[in-house]
Structure 1
């Protein structure tokens, strides 16, 4: 294979990892201030002086009574009905999730490349965006560019997404998973298995994991790289190539 091309790819991975470490996407979320009211009481003598004799309430006519009851009933029903509709829309629905899947799968039980292209367009994400890799990881997809019905239902249920809008609102959460070192390592390892069906098989899994360890421990200028260390030959060649490139 063309060694320079792959070594250049390793350089990009190394630079991307250090860039991610510098990102700080978290922010403190303050709690809303709560206002409290105060009740003003009057003195006993003042209250006694201001006591008025009770007035006899007028009994509403039968028509007025029925109208008032009906009005209260209608108001309560409208309030209950709007709350019920809002709750149903917010709650996850397996049926709605299934219908959402077939918008992209058509008559098949798998979303293929064409459906995936439309899916990415609807959620506003490019297919090569790293968040699509994180989504595939959450769905535990086995083949690149494909989501099976089982993978879709299991993954979207865990994310509680059954509509395009809900998934759009979840994208920031998916991106934030890359900021956690444990999740990043899991996603990185998943990426190797996810892409292994590709015809381009440049490195094995051990080398792939060594690249991650290299990116975590070696400075961008490679100043702390030990040539006599237990790094694979691939990374020795990369360091040699990178230093020659910097000098030229």
Structure 2
């Protein structure tokens, strides 16, 4: 299966052929081979995404020339109306460790074939989909063939990735390059380990026009096959919601379910498919007209902790978030959801492409992915068992969590104060949600990542954790987390001045002592602000990084700094003029 980094289930994972005949209830089964002796067959394909339209094409392509075939494609939103239509579209045949996936060569060639078919079809019939009717698409391309660049962001798997790169597919070679070579391909890219993997033959498809074009190709194939043989072929799209499979009973010889995550909403399949659902948000950015640093036409898209899918020199998409167990399959994104997505994606994306901070966010889209079930080897299962036993030694059994008393006992056993920044770093590693509490799942997440299933191992890993957090691409995320972690009330969005000063001293004090002392002095004497919000918090970190202190000579209030920082600088300048 191809690795397509995006907001959709990889093609075919949730396609189930369901026979709807004279049974009282539908049964999951393949259609009987005796159907081939019939004069005609009628199929329903549920879902008009990557899987659904690929199935429709192959049903037509492989049908006997003498057989009458009728295919109805049904989707409640439209072609590409689910997660497929808003995916990132970064198409390549490799795992995160750049190892060829299972049957990679075969799947890669088949994907390229379908892409060529779609491009050929759209060249002869300009069209797009709107309420069940075809009209011209507004997108600029179906496929952008500039390759994909994957910077190695950590040393952990570098040797494995280098070794895997040497055995890449002939049809999609991987070249190991250094930062200088990477910056020729993508100016201003950051390659922390001085190593990046260039998948020169990889492709960035634009999902919506690709899917529209593939449907046009299906129409053309049906017409062509009907003209050369006795069996008529036809395909039709119906914008229709299917709430249960019984609605289709008696109408079709077979129903093929290609609904991705939405398959789990059908009562006949609910609980029967081993799928996990995950909502992903993609952020859209454009470069302001007054900034001339366009992305060159030859530049590849980027794969890292977040991916950057280049649409054109002044537009790109960044994705994607991971909201597990979500049931929201709408492509629409609320302001609140978009804001959360930006908080998560921007630090990850700007770590490899710092120039992104000059770009402007102008919208977001989302889809509900269908993910395969988790599998764990026996060794991993034993590790989880030890981690769970470790958790139990500190957990409050009445609530099933480690509470503040348990955290205090943990700190004592680790020989650290509960106010030690390393405990905050540990909470960051666990992605803990509530201050002073660790759930079992958070504990597992953090300790599995640290490979620490005993107290002795955890003690040893704390110093390594400090080094991990100190890396630039991690520290900004940790800094943002520390603020969120201290928001103890529901819907709380700001911290009081006293808490901010304590937190700044803990998180930034070792790095920017002069700035922290001065800012906290100012916060304690000023009367205008009683709280600090996330935007002010993050911009103060940028202030510490970018502004010469205490000279302040490069501080420019016209650069849209928060007013609290303008006032702080004005206070400092007055103080230096009238000591």
| Higher fraction of strand | 2
Q: Which residue of 2 aligns with 1:116?
A: 407
Decide whether the 8 Å contact of 1:133 with 1:191 is kept in 2.
yes
Cα RMSD (Å):
2.1
User: Equivalent residue of 2:559, what SS?
Assistant: coil
Give, in angstroms, the shift of residue 244 of structure 1: 4.1
Going from structure 1 to structure 2, the CA distance change for 1:121 and 1:241 (only over 3 Å counts) comes to farther
3-state SS in 2 of match to 1:197: coil
Instruction: Give the match for residue 458 of structure 2.
Output: 167
Residues 58-90 of structure 1: CA deviation (Å, up to 9, x unaligned):
xxxxxxxxxxxxxxxxxxxxxxxxxxxxxxxxx
Partner of 2:546: 217
- Residue 96 in 1 paired to residue 392 in 2? no
Q: Secondary structure at the match of 2:435?
A: coil
- 2:532 counterpart of 1:203: yes
Equivalent in the alignment of 1:229: 559
Shift in alpha-carbon separation, 1:92–1:136, aligned structure 2, 3 A: farther
Cα drift, residue 95 of structure 1: 2.1
SS in structure 2 opposite 1:104? coil
Q: What TM-score, normalized by structure 2, do the two folds share?
A: 0.26
Distance 1:162 1:223 in 2: 50
Whether contact under 8 Å (1:100, 1:162) holds in the other structure is: yes
5+ residue gaps in structure 2? 1-380, 497-530
Partner Cα distance (2:535, 2:446) in 1: 28
The structure richer in helix per residue is 1
Structure 1-normalised TM-score? Answer: 0.58
Q: Distance in 1 between matches of 2:382 and 2:429?
A: 17
**For the residues of structure 2 that align with 1:127 and 1:243, how far apart are their CA atoms?**
38
Determine the structure 2 residue equivalent to 1:192.
483
Partner of 2:571: 241
User: 1:178-227 CA distances to partner (integer Å, 9 max, x unpaired)?
Assistant: 32111001111112221122674522222222111111101221232223
* Alignment partner, residue 429 of structure 2: 138
Match of 1:25 in 2: none
Q: Which residue of 2 aligns with 1:182?
A: 473
Structure 1 window deviating more from structure 2 (149-158 vs 191-200): it is 191-200
Contact 1:92 1:160 in 2 (8 A): no
Match of 1:107 in 2: 397
After superposition, the Cα gap between the structure-2 partners of 1:229 and 1:154, relative to the gap in structure 1 and judged at 3 Å, is closer
Return the structure number with greater relative CO, CA threshold 8 A, min gap 6.
1
- Separation in structure 1 between the aligned mates of residue 486 and residue 447 of structure 2, nearest angstrom: 22
- The superposition leaves residues 31-52 of structure 1 with CA deviations (integer Å, 9 ceiling, x where unpaired) of xxxxxxxxxxxxxxxxxxxxxx
1:92 CA drift (Å): 6.7
Count of paired positions:
158
Higher-Rg structure is 1
Query: Would the aligned equivalents of 1:110 and 1:148 in 2 still touch at CA under 8 Å?
Result: yes
How many Å separate the matches in 2 of 1:96 and 1:178?
Answer: 25
Q: 1:132 to 1:243 in 2, by over 3 A?
A: farther
